[in-house]
A and B are shown apart, each in its own frame.
Chain A
Amino acid sequence: MAVSAVHLESDAFLVCMNHALSTEKEEVMGLCIGEVEVTRIVHIYSVIILRRSDKRKDRVEISPEQLSAASTEAERLADITGRPMRVVGWYHSHPHITVWPSHVDVRTQAMYQMLDQCFVGLIFSCFIEDKNTKTGRVLYTCFQSVQAQKGSEYERVEIPIHVVPREAIGKVCLESAVELPRILCQEEQDTYRKIHSLAHLDPVTKIHNGSVFTKNLCSQMSAVSGPLLQWLEDRQEQNKQSIVELQREKERLLQELAALE
Chain B
Amino acid sequence: MAASISGYTFSSVCYHSANSNSDHEGFLLGEVRQEETVSISDTQISTAELIQVVEIHNHDPCAQLFSFYDYAGKINEESLNSILKDRRKNVIGWYRFRRNTQQQMSFREQIIHKQLTQLLGVPDLVFLLFSFISTANSSTHALEYVLFRPNRSRYNQRITLTIPNLGNTSQQEYKVSSVPNTSLNYTQVIKEHGAEFFDKDGVMKDIRTIFQVYSALQDKVQAVCGEVEQSERVREKIQEDVNKLKQQIALRKRKTAEEERKLRESENADSHPTSEENTDPSEASSQSRINFHTPPAPERPSTSPNPPSYADLLTQDDSLLSSSSPPTSAALLPRPQAVGSPGHPTPGPLGIGLGLGLGLGASSNPVTTPSSPYLGNGDGSSSDSLDRQAAGQEDDEEDDDDEEDEDSSEYENLLSEAPHLPLVSASVLAQGRPAALSPDGDARGSQTT
- A-side residues, CB < 8 A to B, are 4-5, 7, 10-11, 13-14, 17-18, 21-26, 37, 39-41, 55, 58, 95-106, 126-130, 132-143, 155-156, 158-171, 174-175, 177-178, 181-182, 184-185, 187-188, 191-192, 195-196, 198, 200-221, 223-236, 238-240, 242-243, 245-247, 249-250, 253-254, 256-257, 260-261
Contact = CB atoms under 8 A, between A and B. Distances in A.
A175 B232 CA distance: 13
A215 B147 CA distance: 32
A137 B131 CA distance: 10
A233 B225 CA distance: 9
B221 A135 contact: no
22 contacts: A10-B18, A21-B163, A25-B167, A37-B303, A102-B441, A104-B444, A126-B163, A134-B146, A134-B158, A134-B159, A143-B139, A167-B235, A167-B239, A174-B228, A178-B221, A187-B171, A217-B210, A238-B61, A239-B234, A245-B63, A246-B238, A253-B242
B76 to A, nearest CB: 17
Contact of B14 (A13, A177, A203, A213): A13
Given A5-B138, A106-B440, A212-B173, 15 more contacts: A11-B15, A14-B12, A14-B15, A21-B165, A97-B443, A98-B439, A98-B447, A101-B441, A162-B354, A165-B19, A167-B298, A174-B228, A184-B166, A203-B191, A206-B204
A98 B429 contact: yes
A18 B8 contact: yes
B193 to A, nearest CB: 9
B187 A202 contact: yes
A110 B349 CA distance: 35
Given A181-B221, A257-B248, A39 B303 contact: yes
A36 to B, nearest CB: 12
A165 B431 CA distance: 29
A17 B225 contact: no
A154 to B, nearest CB: 10
A129 B440 contact: no
B72 interface: no
Contacts of B447: 96-98
A41 B233 CA distance: 27
Residue from A195, A204, A221 whose CB has the most chain B CB atoms within 10 Å:
A204
Nearest to A133: B384
Nearest to B59: A234
Size class of B's contact patch?
35 or more
B255 to A, nearest CB: 9
B235 A246 contact: yes
Given A174-B228, A246-B242, A247-B238, A205 B175 contact: yes
Contact of B141 (A21, A132, A140): A140
Interface in B381-439: 384-386, 415, 427, 429-432, 436, 439
A249 to B, nearest CB: 6
A146 B385 CA distance: 36
A128 B235 CA distance: 35
B189 to A, nearest CB: 10
B10 A236 contact: no
B262 to A, nearest CB: 18
B231 interface: yes
Main secondary structure of the interface of A (DSSP, over half): helix
Contact of A168 (B194, B235, B358): B235
A217 B357 CA distance: 43
A205 B197 CA distance: 12
Given A135-B103, A239-B235, A204 B228 contact: no
B257 to A, nearest CB: 11
A25 B163 CA distance: 13
Contacts of B15: 10-11, 13-14, 17
Nearest to B236: A168
Contact of A162 (B160, B301, B436): B301
A204 B190 contact: yes
A204 B447 CA distance: 38
A215 B158 CA distance: 34
Given A21-B7, A209-B175, A216 B18 contact: no
B115 interface: no
B211 interface: yes
Contact of B429 (A4, A58, A99, A200): A99
Interface centre among A96, A101, A130 (most CB of B within 10 A): A130
Nearest to B241: A250
B227 A257 contact: no
A133 B169 contact: no
A23 B18 contact: no
A133 B174 contact: no
A106 to B, nearest CB: 7
A190 to B, nearest CB: 10
A133 B307 CA distance: 33
Contact of A174 (B138, B170, B232): B232
B195 interface: yes
B57 A134 contact: no
B437 to A, nearest CB: 9
A12 to B, nearest CB: 10
B279 interface: no
B421 to A, nearest CB: 13
B175 to A, nearest CB: 5
B161 interface: yes
Contact of B353 (A11, A162, A213, A234): A162
A243 B8 contact: no
Given A137-B144, A201-B178, A257-B249, A22 B305 contact: no
Given A10-B18, A10-B19, A261 B301 contact: no
Nearest to B427: A130
A195 B204 CA distance: 13
A191 B207 CA distance: 13
A3 to B, nearest CB: 9
A171 to B, nearest CB: 5
